[in-house]
């Protein structure tokens, strides 16, 4: 079965819409801005009628995405912000448009659903913006800790980190034996012997748990070991999240965040206000204004001219305006799904003919 890729879709002439999206379509681009491309394609008839349906294709960085016609119209009918922006793109950002795309008009889809879809999307950006602060303020060391760093020894009424205990006693880790203690979670009797073939506390550095040994009955423990297993699990998750973020982060955005010193992703916060302002305009004007006339205000947010708490407060006030504006608007409650379904069938029939 043919695997769909962006190149394959393009080379087979299946594109019916291709537009520039993102900062360049908003009029918010700067010298370092990328060019984001989104589009719509139609599956060949034999693929559409087959068992597997491919709803979209994209590149690795997701800055180029093409939606299959059905998926595109489905998202439109749900008033998805990104998709509504695509169909409302300024003419200067439309790279290609097949005649059948003229059958889709923004007015068929813009509805009171936009109050929720735009506002909810905006507030996910607030969480993203603030989530960056923890990664900046609390970086995770590149050298990964092991189980040994989360183990402690109780000896003579004193709790000692395992590594310190081993150093002070001049013990070899691989000659230590552990045995579970009944009814005490993550607690073990600790034994040491040059004679017996104990397993050590861990068998390898990247082990995720301690290793147990077979202990002769005549042996006596030299202490009790506690493994903070929950703490280790939390650390492993945070380590992976942090270094995945480092690997994938947009360096320009990261440098901007460090430069303005506000410790939040100001680009995310800029989009919070862009989305909320677009939502307000939909209620008052009945259309999606992709190109922004409030460029100076939005770029000031991106440049870190405001404090995070101040922006959150402004965003909340803006969001609180929306319910009454939408209630008093002339917008339909939601798109006419039956009409849209018939239109989608007609579009596909025309294309296949």
Q: Which tokens hold the place of 248?
A: 């994938």
Q: How confident is the model at residue 137 (pLDDT cuts 50, 70, 90)?
A: very low
Which among 60, 44, 37, 47 is positioned nearest to 12, based on CA atoms? 44
How confident is the model over 143-169, as a mean pLDDT?
92
Residue 6 has pLDDT above 50, yes or no: yes
What is the Cα–Cα distance from 301 to 264, expressed in whole angstroms?
11
Q: What is the mean pLDDT of the chain?
A: 88
How confident is the model over 287-316, as a mean pLDDT?
91
What is the Cα–Cα distance from 128 to 122, expressed in whole angstroms?
10
What is the Cα–Cα distance from 39 to 64, expressed in whole angstroms?
8
Q: For the segment 171-209, what is each residue's pLDDT rounded down to a tens digit?
A: 998 899 999 999 999 999 999 998 898 999 998 888 899
Helix, strand, coil percentages for the chain (3-state, nearest 5) = 50, 15, 35
Looking at per-residue pLDDT, the higher value among 142 and 9 belongs to 9
What is the Cα–Cα distance from 37 to 61, expressed in whole angstroms?
11
Q: For the segment 60-85, what is each residue's pLDDT rounded down to a tens digit?
A: 878 899 999 999 999 999 999 999 99
Residue 235 has pLDDT above 70, yes or no: yes
**Positive/negative CA dihedral, 248, 251, 252, 255:** positive
Residue whose tokens read 């950006």: 125
What is the Cα–Cα distance from 9 to 15, expressed in whole angstroms?
7
* Phi, psi of 226, deg, nearest 5: -115, 130
Q: Which residue ranges make up each domain of the chain? A: 1-109+335-353, 147-233
Residue 248 has pLDDT above 70, yes or no: no
The architecture (CATH level 2) of 1-109+335-353 comes to 2-Layer Sandwich (3.30)
What is the Cα–Cα distance from 324 to 328, expressed in whole angstroms?
6
Which among 19, 305, 262 is positioned nearest to 136, based on CA atoms? 262
What is the Cα–Cα distance from 39 to 89, expressed in whole angstroms?
11
Which among 95, 96, 206, 195 is positioned nearest to 148, based on CA atoms? 206
Residue 333 has pLDDT above 80, yes or no: yes
Contact (Cβ atoms closer than 8 angstroms) between residue 329 and residue 284 = yes
Which among 208, 263, 201, 200 is positioned nearest to 231, based on CA atoms? 208
Contact (Cβ atoms closer than 8 angstroms) between residue 237 and residue 202 = no
Q: For the segment 93-136, what is each residue's pLDDT rounded down to a tens digit?
A: 999 999 999 999 999 999 999 999 998 888 877 766 555 444 44
């Amino acid at each position: 079965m043919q695997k769909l890729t962006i190149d394959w879709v393009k080379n087979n002439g299946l594109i019916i819409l291709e537009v520039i999206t993102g900062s360049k379509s908003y009029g918010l681009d700067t010298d370092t801005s990328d060019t984001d491309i989104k589009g719509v394609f139609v599956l060949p008839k034999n693929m559409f009628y087959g068992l597997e349906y491919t709803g979209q294709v994209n590149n690795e960085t997701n800055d180029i995405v093409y939606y299959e016609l059905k998926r595109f119209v489905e998202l439109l009918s749900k008033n998805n912000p990104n998709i509504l922006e695509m169909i409302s793109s300024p003419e200067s950002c439309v790279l290609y448009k097949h005649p059948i795309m003229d059958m889709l008009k923004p007015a068929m889809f813009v509805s009171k659903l936009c109050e929720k879809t735009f506002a909810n999307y905006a507030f996910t950006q607030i969480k993203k913006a603030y989530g960056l602060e923890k990664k900046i303020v609390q970086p995770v060391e590149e050298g990964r800790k092991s189980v040994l760093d989360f183990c402690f020894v109780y000896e003579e009424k004193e709790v000692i980190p395992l590594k310190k205990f081993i150093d002070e006693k001049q013990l070899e880790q691989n000659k230590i034996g552990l045995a579970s203690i009944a009814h005490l979670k993550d607690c073990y009797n600790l034994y040491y012997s040059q004679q017996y073939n104990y397993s050590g506390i861990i068998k390898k550095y990247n082990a995720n748990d301690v290793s147990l040994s077979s202990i002769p009955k005549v042996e006596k423990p030299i202490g009790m070991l506690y493994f903070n297993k929950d703490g280790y699990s939390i650390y492993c998750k945070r380590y992976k999240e942090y270094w995945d973020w480092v690997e994938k982060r947009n360096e320009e955005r990261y440098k901007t965040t460090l430069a303005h010193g506000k410790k939040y992703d100001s680009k995310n916060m800029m989009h919070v206000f862009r989305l909320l302002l677009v939502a307000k305009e939909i209620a008052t004007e009945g259309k999606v204004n992709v190109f922004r006339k409030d460029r100076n205000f939005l770029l000031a947010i991106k440049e870190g001219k405001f404090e995070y708490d101040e922006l959150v407060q402004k965003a909340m006030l803006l969001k609180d305006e929306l319910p009454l504006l939408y209630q008093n608007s002339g917008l339909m409650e939601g798109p006419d799904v039956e009409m849209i379904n018939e239109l989608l069938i007609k579009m596909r029939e025309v294309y296949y003919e």
